[in-house]
Amino acid sequence: MISGLIFDISRTHLLTRRRQSIIAALGVTFGIGTFITLMSFMTGLNQLLDGLILNRTPHVRIHQELKKSETQPIERLLQMPGTAAIRNIQPKDEPKKIPNARAMIQALERRSDVRGIAPQVQVQLLYLAGSNTINGVANGIEVDSEMRLFQFGDYVVEGDPLKLKRTRNSIILGAELAKSLSAQIGDNIQVSTADGEIFQLKTVGIFQSGLADIDKVQSYVDVQTAQTLLGVNSDYFTDLNLKLFDLEKAPLLADYIQRQFDVSTTDLQTANAQFETGTNIRNLITYAVSFTLLLVAGFGIYNILNMLIYEKMNDIAILKATGFTGQDVSRIFITQALIIGVIGGLLGLGVGAGLSLLIDMAPFETDALPTIKTFPVNHDPLYYLGGIVFSIIATFLAGYLPARKARYIDPVEIIRGQ
């Protein structure tokens, strides 16, 4: 009964001050709407950028690093380490091959936390363009696993990636590289290996990674072609790229593999530490801006309620004289703040959803991201929940101080002051 009466009085106050109430509610609407839009857009962007890295980067990369021998022959002879001082030790001429790669692949594929392994053979070579040569790298890949684990297909903008497997001695060229070689699909190009052997390869596709420096030098060939180029047998792999089900486990697994198989490993977290920092900072900025907007909206409400209370001194006095307690009176003003908050907040959800959808539909095409056609937006309902909760909390706080003031107004002073 009494709460109904308080709501009734609050509603009447708001309705008779329609313009002020609307402005206060719009302040909240604007704050919440922008909060949701910003959050959806920024996290969408973050996910896209994270995705770029996560899609293309192996969670754990196994490779063989050039390293100097642990013990030098002279030390073995003296049998006393440290007695011989040798400076500038060069690494041994070891192949960059991963030892026992086949066995390692089989062992790792049996693990339940490994989603898949894509082996690679990296070949340093020279692309021959007339009398010019371009330094570059060809990646020997297993097209199936690359497509399954690293969305290789997304980056092949022309041609069919699967032809790499089907056509002998075929190659997929980086977009810039293809331009330099003026090679189009179906054209043959010539490459020279480090040993000076010249091969002819058929262009079956063009890929675009988004990074011009890579597109200028890199190409993809089938793993067998790469092994042929190097003149090695079929268990020669330079990289094993692992994808896990849970990327958080990458550092642990990388560590394990390193100890178990005596190879070098790099996990995603180590390779991309700076990336996470970027994500965190972007999130921080988003939160700071949203919070500021809500704060401004909160001050708007505070201001309007404060003014309302000065205007309503007589009403407050009369309510108190006729038996309303201080609590009742403060509840009237808090209710008003909450009504403004809920209505403004709900409208804000609508505005946020509308703006997010608009951004989602806005075209966004860039060479760097061949698969993206519109701006990325993350329509997470959590932001809508957060928005409405925040609007209620903010308006409650904005209403609290004026309501507290109203609560302690002495009716005698008002009535006698006339």
Partner 1 sequence: MSAQSNIVLRTEDIQKFFYHPVEFHVLKDITLEIKNGEFVSIMGKSGSGKSTLLYVLSTMDTRYEGKLYLNNRLVTGMSHNELARIRNQEIGFVFQFHYLLPEFSVLKNVMIPALKLGRKTRHEIEKDARRKLDILAIAQLADKKASQVSGGEKQRVAIARALINEPSIVMGDEPTGNLDSKNSDNVFRIMRELASEKGLSMLMVTHDEDFAARTDRTIYLEDGRIIDHNRQTGKDKK
Q: Where along the sequence are the contacts to partner 1 (CB under 8 A)?
A: 1-2, 4-5, 9, 12-13, 16, 314-315, 317-328, 411-412, 415-416, 418
CA 345/CA 166 separation, integer angstroms = 58
CA angle 352, 357, 361 (to 5 degrees): 150
226/235 Cα distance (integer angstroms): 12
Closest to partner 1 by CB, 365 vs 413, is 413
Question: Smallest distance, Å, CB 3 to partner 1?
Answer: 10
Taking the least distance from each CB to partner 1, the nearer of 274 and 418 is: 418
Q: Can you tell me whether residue 236 is helix, strand or coil?
A: coil
Tell me the closest approach of the beta carbon of residue 325 to partner 1, in angstroms.
4
Residue 249 DSSP class: G
Query: SS3 sequence, 77-95?
Result: HHCCCCCCCCCCCCCCCCC
Cα–Cα distance for residue pair 28/293, rounded to 1 Å: 9
* Cβ nearer to partner 1, comparing 184 with 314: 314
- For partner 1, the closer of residues 161 and 411 by Cβ is 411
Q: What is the rounded distance in angstroms from the CA atom of residue 16 to the CA atom of residue 236?
A: 82
CB of 389 to partner 1, least distance (A): 31
Cβ neighbors of 383 (< 8 A, separation 6 or more) are 35, 36, 39, 40, 43, 352
4 vs 186 by CB, closer to partner 1: 4
Nearer to partner 1, 4 or 196 (CB): 4
Q: Which of 324, 298, 272 is nearest to 402 (CA)?
A: 298
Specify the residue, 288 or 412, whose C-beta has the smaller distance to partner 1. Answer: 412
CB–CB of 223/119 below 8 Å?
A: yes
**Minimum distance from residue 6 beta carbon to partner 1 (Å):** 9
What's the min distance (Å) between Cβ of 1 and partner 1?
4
Collapsing DSSP states into helix, strand and coil, what is residue 215?
helix
Gyration radius of the chain over CA positions? 34
Where do we find the tokens 């900025």? 285
How many residues make up the chain in this entry?
A: 418
| Least gap, CB of 411 to partner 1 (angstroms) | 5
Q: How far is the CB of 321 from partner 1 (least distance, A)?
A: 5
Secondary structure class of 228 (helix, strand, coil):
helix
> 66 or 412: whose CB is closer to partner 1?
412
Q: Which is nearer to partner 1, 234 or 327 (CB)?
A: 327
Strands 132-141 and 218-222 come out as: parallel
- The enclosing H or E element of 157 equals strand 156-159
Rounded to a whole number of angstroms, the minimum distance from the CB of residue 340 to partner 1 is 17
Q: How far is the CB of 26 from partner 1 (least distance, A)?
A: 22
